[in-house]
Structure 1
Amino acid sequence: MKDVMGMMKQVQAMQAKMQDLQAELERTEVEGVAGGGLVKVRLTAKGEMKGISVDDSLLKPEEKEIVEDLILAAHNDARAKGDRLMQEKMGALTAGLPIPPGMKLPF
């Protein structure tokens, strides 16, 4: 029984830390860049878009398709950075806990 109680305390502590981490990820911003910096997208680490910047040199009707592709690429870059940040923070949070391999925690 002693092990179960100890594990329950660890789980409760982890839940509190996860709530803090969720709030931190909502405040943390990552930036994705495409086209050598001509297009930039800012997202929270949770994936909410916060801003976009397009260099004036791309604002030509004939460049429309290129701009759209660069926006997608910058968004994907920012999203990947946010995902990596989330994984790093989650790994630090769950270090030392007896979590079975392959178990996914709600995030």
Structure 2
Amino acid sequence: MMKGLGGLGDMTKMMKAAKEMQDKMQQMQQDLERITVTGESGAGLVKATCTAKGELTALDIDPSIFQPSEKEVVEDLILAAIKDAQRRAQDRMQSEMSRITEAMGLPAGMKLPF
């Protein structure tokens, strides 16, 4: 390709690969904002939805749990659902990152810059 330029051909190839990786990482960041996961608690009485980046986007509470004497239980269920959604978001993000790194031929478990 760039005969006679020695290591410059390799450098060009490396720069192109770095640019492709950067583009894929940007696309993955955008995808993670669109992917949603739902966590739940209380056998589905409370559901929390968040993006794969962990941003809470929705909370669904079954009206049957609204009893003044159960206030603390409801608060615990809400927190548990949010934590479950965030854990699922983290798992999904790691899964997406693994998929991208494998597609790029990078070693499994390689930590990327985010």
Distance 1:35 1:98, change over 3 A: closer
Query: Is it true that 1:79 corresponds to 2:69 in the alignment?
Result: no
| RMSD of Structure 2 on Structure 1 (CA) | 1.9
Counterpart of 2:106?
Answer: 97
1:43-78 CA distance string (max 9 Å, x none): 011111111011111111111111111111111111
Could you say which structure has the larger radius of gyration? 2
Counterpart of 1:26?
Answer: 33
Q: Compute the displacement of 1:98 (Å).
A: 5.8
Counterpart of 1:9?
Answer: 16
Match for residue 41 of structure 1 among 37, 48, 51: 48
Runs of 4+ in 1 over 3 A off after TM superposition: 2-5
Q: Distance in 2 between matches of 1:38 and 1:51?
A: 14
Could you tell me the TM-score, scaled by structure 2's length?
0.82
Higher relative contact order (CA 8 A, sep 6+): 1
Provide the secondary structure at the position in 2 that maps to 1:50: strand
Could you tell me the TM-score, scaled by structure 1's length?
0.86
Total equivalences in the alignment:
105
Counterpart of 1:55?
Answer: 62
